[in-house]
């Protein structure tokens, strides 16, 4: 009698675009008894987090911490500067851009949505036209997703700032960096971003539950002009607390703070610039594999133009039902979990099964990426999905060349 063996026993690898892999140093830092929240180490750690976070966001502005996921940071940021009836412009290149816009609608804002689809970046000419038509400067904020995690499109935030300046439009530039901070180059101050939001569970390598809003002076002035702001979301006491509890509007997220502190130590020990370069090189290895597989058969990168691709997540199209079949196969046989296609087709539509994503954000190195790609290549072969040869070899070649090039 023959019995099928599976090879999934061993350390599991969650390669989805968030939550990302949590480093052992972060897990160890969190494994402790509850600390005192009124005095002692936790207070010092929290104070030290603020400059460490700002160094990752590349800003001299202020930072507010929320006990929330990314959706909470979306709402927090909007709540401080957008009142009921205010107009906001949303530039969408995937599901997350649309989601932030929906959050603004829920707060009573009048949302103007420019939807550029799931495979392209913004058309800045179209944005310029809309801004020019807004002669009264009624648009209070532009909501821009740096990397849309559903499509893996990476957008040009600095280019958008240049456009706002060229048009002389005073709208606040708000950037969603949840998928990009700590992965892709992001320069809040240099790029002229007024408000940036991010969360703990992606490039920042900490379990979900913390999110962050960075804001500059212009944004603080806009906040000061608001008639009222929900007390819990108000960033003013959080960004400049007189008492420790004001950092969090209540009890501190004790263990998360230890974890985040360890994660930021890892980032700063490596160096933010090096972190970005590592993500870029690993992404290039992944693209090389995907391009080789795509020479034959149905697999294709969702974003054709390399310069528009995220370095932290890669969305793929492979045709139904191959996406779901491949994900299921690698989970069962490789101990690897890949991301679902998000927002590419409605759930329930058979087309939904034709997509998947690879997450490569945060605590990821070359052997993990090669292992992930090897698992996918094995899955393509096992399932008889036609594909070009040499995917893993192409990725190894990129990694082999990394030393000279960096």
Q: What are the residues binding ligand PLP (CB under 6 A)?
A: 18, 69-71, 96, 145, 147-149, 176, 178-179, 199, 208
- Select the residue whose beta carbon is closest to ligand PLP and give its number: 70
Residue 179 C-beta: closest distance to ligand PLP, Å: 3
Query: What does the alpha-carbon distance between residue 360 and residue 286 come to, in Å, rounded to a whole number?
Result: 9
Phi, psi of 313 (to 5 degrees): -150, 140
Residue 199 C-beta: closest distance to ligand PLP, Å: 5
Q: What is the token pair recorded at 187?
A: 């320069």
Pair 104, 143: CB distance under 8 Å: yes
Query: What does the alpha-carbon distance between residue 290 and residue 373 come to, in Å, rounded to a whole number?
Result: 9
Residue 148 C-beta: closest distance to ligand PLP, Å: 6
Residue 148 or residue 194: which is nearer to ligand PLP going by CB? Answer: 148
Residue 253 or residue 375: which is nearer to ligand PLP going by CB? Answer: 253
Q: What is the token pair recorded at 123?
A: 């058309």
Helix (H, G, I), strand (E, B) or coil at 64: strand
How distant, in Å, are the alpha carbons of 85, 276, 334, 339, 402 from that of 290?
46, 21, 18, 15, 18
Residue 71 or residue 363: which is nearer to ligand PLP going by CB? Answer: 71
Q: From its phi and psi, is residue 103 left (phi > 0), alpha (psi between -120 and 50) or beta? A: alpha
Residue 74 C-beta: closest distance to ligand PLP, Å: 7
Residue 63 C-beta: closest distance to ligand PLP, Å: 17
- Placement of tokens 């932290």 in the chain: 312
Query: What does the alpha-carbon distance between residue 78 and residue 88 come to, in Å, rounded to a whole number?
Result: 10
Residue 143 or residue 325: which is nearer to ligand PLP going by CB? Answer: 143
Phi, psi of 133 (to 5 degrees): -70, -20
Residue 361 C-beta: closest distance to ligand PLP, Å: 9
Residue 179 or residue 380: which is nearer to ligand PLP going by CB? Answer: 179
Residue 202 or residue 238: which is nearer to ligand PLP going by CB? Answer: 202
């Amino acid at each position: 009698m023959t019995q099928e063996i599976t090879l999934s026993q061993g350390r599991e690898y969650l390669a989805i675009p968030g939550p990302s892999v949590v480093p052992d140093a972060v897990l160890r830092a969190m494994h402790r008894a509850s600390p005192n929240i009124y005095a002692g180490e936790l207070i010092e750690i929290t104070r030290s987090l603020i400059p460490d976070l700002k160094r990752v966001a590349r800003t001299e502005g202020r930072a507010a911490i929320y006990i929330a996921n990314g959706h909470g940071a979306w709402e927090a940021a909007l709540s401080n500067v957008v009142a009921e009836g205010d107009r906001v412009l949303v530039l969408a290149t995937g599901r997350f851009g649309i989601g932030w816009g929906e959050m603004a609608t829920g707060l009573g804002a009048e949302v103007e949505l420019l939807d550029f689809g799931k495979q392209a970046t913004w058309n800045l000419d179209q944005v310029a036209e809309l801004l020019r038509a807004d002669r009264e400067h009624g648009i209070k904020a532009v909501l821009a997703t740096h990397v849309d995690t559903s499509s893996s499109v990476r957008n040009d935030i600095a280019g958008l700032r240049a456009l706002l300046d060229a048009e002389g439009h005073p709208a606040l530039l708000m950037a969603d960096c949840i998928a990009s901070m700590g992965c892709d180059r992001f320069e809040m101050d240099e790029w002229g971003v007024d408000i940036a939001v991010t969360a703990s569970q992606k490039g920042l390598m900490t379990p979900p539950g913390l999110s962050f809003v960075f804001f500059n002076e212009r944004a603080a002035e806009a906040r000061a002009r608001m008639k009222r702001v929900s007390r819990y979301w108000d960033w003013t006491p959080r960004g400049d607390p007189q008492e420790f509890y004001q950092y969090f509007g209540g009890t501190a997220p004790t263990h998360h703070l230890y974890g985040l502190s360890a994660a930021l130590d890892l980032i700063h020990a490596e160096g933010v610039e090096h972190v970005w370069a590592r993500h870029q090189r690993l992404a290039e290895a992944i693209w090389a594999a995907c391009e080789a597989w795509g020479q034959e058969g149905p697999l294709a990168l969702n974003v054709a133009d390399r310069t528009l691709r995220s370095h932290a997540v890669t969305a793929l199209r492979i045709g139904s039902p191959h996406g779901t079949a491949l994900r299921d196969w690698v989970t069962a046989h490789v101990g690897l979990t890949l991301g679902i296609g998000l927002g590419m087709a409605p759930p329930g539509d058979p087309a939904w099964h034709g997509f998947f994503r690879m997450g490569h954000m945060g605590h990821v190195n070359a052997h993990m990426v090669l292992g992930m790609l090897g698992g996918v290549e094995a899955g393509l072969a096992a399932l008889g999905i036609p594909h070009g040869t040499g995917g893993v070899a192409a990725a190894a070649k990129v990694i082999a060349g990394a030393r000279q090039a960096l």
